[in-house]
Amino acid sequence: MEMFFTNLLEFFYILIGLQFAFTGYKVLRSDQDKRIGTALFWFDLAILFALGKWLPAIISGILVLLLAIITLVKHFVTGNFEQDETRAEVNADRFGNLVFVPVIVMAVTALVLAQFVPASGAGAIGIGAIVALVLAMAIFRAPFQQVLHESNRNVQQVGSTAILPQLLAALGVIFVNAGVGEIVTSIFGNLVPEGNQFLGATMYVIAMVVFTMIMGNAFAAFTVITAGIGIPFVIMQGANPAIAGALAMTAGYCGTLLTPMAGNFNALPVALLEMKSEYGVIKRQAPIAIALIVVHIVLMYTWAF
C-alpha cells in the first residue's frame, strides 16, 4: 500500500510538471514582456517536478540555480490577465455558494484518506484535488480547455512565489546540516532553566514564530527550531512529541501572518487585490496572530505535558 501511494505521489509530481510545461508553452507563444526568460523558468520548473526523481542531484541543483538566476536578473514576470467583471458577476449570481463545494470536498477527501489510510500521506491531497476538479467541472459545466486556461492563469499570476515553500523547506534542512540547530541550543540553553516545562514550551512557540518571520516559512523554521529547542527543552522534558510538534508547526503559521517574507501569503494578495497599503494584509492579521501565540503557549504547556 505504501509503495502504491509513493508511486501515486510521483504521478502527481509529473502532472504538476506537465502543467508548468503547458504554462511555459503559453508564455512562449504570447507577446508579453520578457517571455523568453519567463518561459524558460516554467520549463525549468516542469523538468524538476516531472523528472526530478530520475535526475542526478547535480543536474537538479543546476536547474534550481537557473531558476534563481532568471529571477535575480529580472527576466521573469508574472502574468497579467484582465478580469471579465460582467461575466464574473453573472457567474457569482448563478452559482452562489456552490463555488465552495469543490474546496470543501478536496479537504474532506484528503482528511478521510489520511485518517483511514495512513500510508497515503501527501498523495491524499492529490487525490482530493483530482476529485474536487472533476466535481468542479460537473458543477460549473466547464470544458477541459477552460480548466487548462484557468490553471495556466493561476500559475502565471502566482508566479515564482509558488515555489517558496519547497525552497525554504530545503533551506531548513541545510541549516540543520550546517549545525544551526546546535547553535540555537547553546544560545537558549542559558535562557531556559533545566526542567522548566513552561519556559521550554514558551520559548519553543516564540522561537517558531520569530524564525518563521525571518525565513518566511514555517517548514524551514520547524526543522531548525525543533532540533535546537523543541527536542532538548520540550520533548526531552517529557512532552508528547506528536502534540508538541503539531503545535509548534501551527505556531509557526502565526509568524507567517506577521511577516512580508511570506510573499505568497502577505505580498501576493496585496498585488492581486490592488491594496493601497503594502502591509495591509499583515496589519489585519496581526491581532489574531498575537492572540493565537498566547493560545499556543497555553496549549503546548497543558496538552503536550
CB burial string 71-89: b at 16+ within 10 A, e below: eeeebbbbbeeeeeeeeee
Q: Answer yes or no: is pLDDT of 56 > 80.
A: yes
State the average pLDDT for the chain.
Answer: 85
All three cell numbers of 221, joined, read 523554521
pLDDT tens digits for 80-123?
777 666 776 777 777 788 888 998 999 899 888 888 777 667 78
Q: Is the dihedral of CA 16, 18, 21, 25 positive or negative?
A: negative
Q: Give 136's contacts (C-beta < 8 A, 6+ positions apart).
A: 102, 142
The pLDDT of residue 252 is: 92
pLDDT tens digits for 208-267?
999 888 877 787 788 888 888 898 889 998 999 999 999 999 999 999 999 887 766 787
Distance CA 156, CA 35 (A): 12
Q: pLDDT: is 163 or 45 the higher one?
A: 45
Residue 272's pLDDT band (cuts 50, 70, 90):
low
pLDDT tens digits for 222-238?
888 888 889 888 999 89
Q: Answer yes or no: is pLDDT of 299 > 80.
A: yes
Q: Which long-range contacts (CB under 8 A, 24 or more apart) does 99-103 make?
A: 101/135, 101/139, 102/132, 102/133, 102/135, 102/136, 102/139, 103/132
Count of H-run helices and E-run strands, the chain: 15, 0
Q: Quote the radius of gyration of the chain (alpha carbons, Å).
A: 22
Distance CA 203, CA 173 (A): 21
- Size of the chain in residues: 305
Measured in degrees and rounded to the nearest 5, phi and psi for residue 14 equal: -65, -40
The pLDDT of residue 180 is: 74
All three cell numbers of 269, joined, read 494578495
Distance CA 168, CA 215 (A): 7
Domain residue extents for the chain: 1-73, 85-142, 163-304
Q: Answer yes or no: is pLDDT of 275 > 80.
A: no
Looking up cell 542559558 gives: 190
Q: pLDDT: is 148 or 4 the higher one?
A: 148
Q: What is the mean pLDDT of residues 56-74?
A: 92
Q: Answer yes or no: is pLDDT of 274 > 70.
A: no
pLDDT tens digits for 163-202?
876 777 677 678 778 877 677 777 776 777 777 889 999 9
DSSP state of 33: T
Q: Answer yes or no: is pLDDT of 48 > 90.
A: yes
Largest Cα span, the chain: 64
